[in-house]
Amino acid sequence: MAIQDAIQKLDPVSLVEKYGAPLYVYNAERIEFQYKRMLTAFKVPKIRINYACKALTNVNILRYLKQLGSGLDTVSIQEVHLGLHAGFAPQDIMYTPNCVSMEEITEAVQLGVKINIDNISILEQFGHLHPEIPVCIRVNPHIMAGGSSKISVGHIDSKFGISIHQIPHVVRVVKTTGINVEGLHMHTGSNILDAEVFLRGAEILLSAADNFKELSFIDFGSGFKVPYRESDISTDVEDLGEKLSKRFNDFCEKYGKELTLIFEPGKFLVSESGHFLVKTNVVKQTTSNVFIGVDSGLNHLIRPMFYNAHHEIFNVSNPNGKPRIYSIVGYICETDTFGVNRKLPEVREGDIIAFANAGAYCFSMASNYNSRFRPAEVLILNGEDHLIREREEMKDLLHHQVEIDSLKPAIAEKN
């Protein structure tokens, strides 16, 4: 099993002995592999990969991607600040907010990052306030994509982007404000399986591009699917690369300028690099089920509960044990099931359980629910493990709580 091999190679049991559980572990080699794979798939004169950092925001991960040559895609002003802190140049950061205030956008302008605008109201205001600042426009091509309605953002009812049907309106605003549109962008959502979907979106975006004469880039967003199960098919980047490169190069020739092709993958770059390691607290036989209760829950890894996402689960302490069927659950005081009816080598209390695909949207969505500490994070770099985030402790839970002096209820006075 390839996914399991990748985990066992990291010697997860020793890592837990050294750093404790629960523990997030990221393998830098895998990030590099994915980055280079994407870069080589597209044969265009100018390409740029902007890592969508909401997937995993540890500054060491950001710096590692910067070393590889990546830019950054950010969706909040705080992510912009993290990117700058990690050492990215402002012009290598794209800021793609949705429904944020004009004040936040103005702050991003002052920081010098690239601005991606996703509604006409903001475009108008922006054009009046900062006519000299070039912008990118997020277009919604209205193609349905993705496996979950929570992550599909390109459909007709989506709150994201400016509808492709509103391009004439955009053109009017651009004319009256004198704003310079330097880029067009789309991002249709996660889990696109089909290169054809991408190409349909690309076609729509390129047809809109003819309305803007001063473009320097076109950003095709993301949607690259990675395998979550051994049998999953993922986005065939090489096939997509071949087809889209050809179409893009043809377009540039007609447009009369070599534009930069941009992608902004999150999941594709970091999902498979990550593993989440937890310890088995109890093996609980009920009348109908055998539960493995682990020292984690939806507070640390919410994707199975939130998106119905499938994460492969392995018993890395007893990989050669006799196979049995288990439901793996968390310790949170509501139902938090990681997986049902999973076949695992016999699990004993104390065994370390590993979740695959834990690099993207796992730690970055973790919380302190049930007043639990968020886990530590470790990066494996050139065969060496580095602690890149300490496990939280009590003081983190109390940090920023303001403990006021007198909390005597008024009613106590009367008694």
CB-nearer residue toward ligand PLP: 39 or 387: 39
Closest contact distance (angstroms) between CB of 136 and ligand PLP is 11
Closest contact distance (angstroms) between CB of 22 and ligand PLP is 23
CB-nearer residue toward ligand PLP: 191 or 315: 191
CB-nearer residue toward ligand PLP: 75 or 199: 75
3-class SS of residue 346: coil
Answer whether 264's CB lies under 8 Å from 49's CB. yes
Give me the residues paired with residue 73 across strands.
52, 94
- Please name the residue ranges forming H helices in 24-178: 28-41, 59-68, 77-86, 102-111, 120-129, 167-177
Closest contact distance (angstroms) between CB of 150 and ligand PLP is 12
Identify the DSSP state of 256.
Answer: T
CB-nearer residue toward ligand PLP: 265 or 297: 265
Footprint of ligand PLP on this chain (CB under 6 A)? Answer: 52, 54-55, 73, 75, 96, 187, 190, 221-222, 224, 264-268, 360
Closest contact distance (angstroms) between CB of 281 and ligand PLP is 32
Answer whether 89's CB lies under 8 Å from 110's CB. no
- Of the candidates 74, 260, 91, 241, the one whose C-alpha atom is nearest the C-alpha of residue 184 is 260
The residue number whose beta carbon is nearest to ligand PLP equals: 266
What value does the CA radius of gyration of the chain take, rounded to a whole number of Å?
A: 24
Answer whether 92's CB lies under 8 Å from 71's CB. yes
Answer whether 156's CB lies under 8 Å from 112's CB. no
CB-nearer residue toward ligand PLP: 124 or 264: 264
d(CA 89, CA 105): 18
**Whose structure tokens read 């998106």?**
307
- What residue ranges in 229-349 does DSSP mark as E strands? 260-263, 274-285, 290-294, 313-315, 323-329, 337-345
Q: Within 10 Å of residue 344's Cβ, how many Cβ atoms?
A: 21
CA distances from 22 to 9, 227, 375 (A): 18, 24, 6
Closest contact distance (angstroms) between CB of 344 and ligand PLP is 28
CB-nearer residue toward ligand PLP: 52 or 244: 52
Catalytic site residues?
Answer: 333
Closest contact distance (angstroms) between CB of 187 and ligand PLP is 4
- Sign of CA pseudo-dihedral 186, 147, 231, 226: positive
CB-nearer residue toward ligand PLP: 97 or 297: 97
CB-nearer residue toward ligand PLP: 96 or 280: 96
Answer whether 215's CB lies under 8 Å from 172's CB. no
Closest contact distance (angstroms) between CB of 295 and ligand PLP is 28
d(CA 389, CA 131): 42
Closest contact distance (angstroms) between CB of 415 and ligand PLP is 55
**Whose structure tokens read 């009367």?**
414
DSSP 173-203: HHHHHT--EEEEE---BS-B--HHHHHHHHH
